[in-house]
Chain A
Amino acid sequence: MYRLALNMLFGDRAKLAMLLCGLAFSALLMAQQSSVFFGIMSWTYTPMVNIRAQVWVSDPMVEQVNDAKPLRDTDLGRVRSVDGVAWAAPLHTSFVQARMQDGNFKLITLVGIDADTFAGAPAVLTQGRIEDLRLPDTVIVDEWGAQLMGRTEIGRDGKPKTTPLKVGDTFEVNDIQARIVGICKVRRAFTGGPFVYTTYDRAKAYTLGARRTLSFMLVEPQKGITPAELCGRIERETGLKAWTSDTVIWSWGERSLARNTFWWFWTNTGIPFSFGTAVLLGLFVGIAISGQTFYSFILENLKYFAAIKAMGAGMGVIARMLFVQAFTAGLIGFGLGAGMAQAIGRAMIEKGMPPFVMFPQILWATFALVLGISFVSAVIGIIKVSRVDAASVFRG
């Protein structure tokens, strides 16, 4: 009977296509909307991704990566003396105004990294070398930032045209010159950017020797010590807060700075709400579409199931037939939708806009939702068939 159930499902190509389109579209919508949502949310911990350090040390009051509470420079020495630390490097981040050549001011995120280790340096430089930061008054700007900070002019055709900054261009930060020696590629952030990298000491100069400039310390554990272990030691011995750099926001790991940042934004800002409504809308539309297509499919087959019932098929058999049909369609629909979401996601990741993070959990949740919809539709169908009066098939 199950083979027949499948043949019934596959028998009508046009209706099957409709059904699968509905399911695939809703799976796509759900997966894609949530991926973009988590993509945007993952921008909150962008520094973790860009700066790449195993252990982060901060002031004990710090809750998330975008909110640095400056440390004393002497704290660096205390951390370095903790057993198990291979090296510790200072990191400065702050928002400052940069004055462009044309006199415009732009808000930038200044990142000061240790000139000896270059810990926290961007992973990919499309132009220039990181070592050039050792030259006087030099900075490295990220690609997107170079565009944002570029000079906009009205072209001959009347349209504004932006010329991005390039290697050799200069601007000023607090009247101190900054000369671009490299362009890097980094992930965008929710707060902050353009990212302007320089050395830790020069960052101090750019911020006019602000009393405290040490935002975070980046620490490398010695071989044989896990980052989490080292975090524990640092906290015990220095009273500072130490974090691991893993970006698995689903874990319960208290020490993940990314995770804390993510959930800090989740609970303390309106961001999840404003973007979340779009996700919810996607979910509702998805559920409505797939539920509707499924339901109409079952309604159309109702009288045939009634005939099968009149011929002596028990409700158990009919229920299983409906489940086979529903889950088969659900699986295929999910597969198509998830595949499309992946493809679209890949294209988006390439463009970088909008951000797209398809956690496996999103796929699992979409899968569960689609199967849940299949299940509910099948159950509705089963109730309908069980209510239908077998005698009705005798009437014309």
Chain B
Amino acid sequence: MSHQAHTVAVRATGVDMFFGTPENQVVALKQADFEARRGELIMLVGPSGCGKTTLLSVIAGTLTPQAGTVEVFGQRLDGLGQEELTSFRRKNLGFVFQSFNLIPTLSVVENVMVPLLIQGRPYDEAHARAHAIIEKVGLKGREEGRPNALSGGQQQRVAIARALVHEPPLLICDEPTSALDKDTGAHIMELVRDLSRSPERCVVVVTHDHRIFRFADRIAEMEDGRISRVVDDPKLLDTSHL
């Protein structure tokens, strides 16, 4: 048990999440249990609307569930105030949002610098590190351009660079490869997987993209607001909804 506690990165237990009024209620998560280990890349798959994004939000502490507990790196999120949650995210999390949320009035490199600057890093250091990671995602030469001048796939790579630049212990990605072609998607997933290889880290990826399943250590299937099955081998998945 003590060994297990050491290897668990994220643990959500009995999470309920409802939206809307009591008369007109949408159940997004119902008694969801989820666990991610240190040093692994775990994928979340399931039909649209089954609650994947909601589960990510709960893990990230941007949504507070009505029931259940969430623990990230041994830290219980329930009971934390807004500022504490913010500080928790600043230190531990990297995000790739489903809609990239790049700031259109900032250049590519400035967008990537944001997490470092939020952490209070000096501008020059942030600039240098952002340059390096942009090169890794294959966007060298586009640093000073605006995100809107890039293709959807390139924007997605900027979003990924922004999520990776501060080497967060927990990386949360919502459909990171949806706009990328096969080769770029694979390249990006290698970057993401490398990050998860460190024993201190953990990556959770929501995806519909079966081409990247091979990068997963484990795959959790979701259905109607809960995890229905966790498998080690993509071949065991029920892919009827994909």
Contact = CB atoms under 8 A, between A and B. Distances in A.
A1 B86 CA distance: 16
Interface in A4-33: 4, 7-12
A1 B105 CA distance: 14
Contacts of A7: 105-107, 110
B53 A394 contact: yes
B98 A310 contact: no
Nearest to B98: A396
B114 A396 contact: no
B91 A312 contact: yes
Interface string A175-202: 0000000000000000000000000000
B63 interface: yes
B101 A304 contact: yes
Interface in B71-110: 82-83, 86-91, 93, 95, 97-99, 101, 103-107, 110
Nearest to B175: A396
Given A4-B113, A390-B62, A394-B56, A312 B101 contact: no
Interface residues of B, number: 35
Q: Which of A3, A312, A317 has the largest number of chain B CB atoms within 10 A?
A: A312
B98 A8 contact: no
Nearest to A314: B86
A304 B103 contact: yes
Q: Which of B90, B98, B118 has the largest number of chain A CB atoms within 10 A?
A: B118
B192 interface: no
Contact of B62 (A1, A310, A315, A317): A310
Contacts of B174: 394
B98 to A, nearest CB: 5
B176 interface: no
Contacts of B93: 311-312
Interface of B: 53, 56-57, 60, 62-63, 82-83, 86-91, 93, 95, 97-99, 101, 103-107, 110, 113-115, 117-119, 123, 146, 174
The list of the 9 closest CB pairs from A to B, nearest first, reads: A312-B90, A11-B105, A312-B89, A390-B62, A307-B101, A391-B62, A391-B57, A391-B63, A304-B103
8 contacts: A1-B117, A301-B105, A308-B114, A310-B89, A311-B115, A312-B87, A389-B63, A394-B57
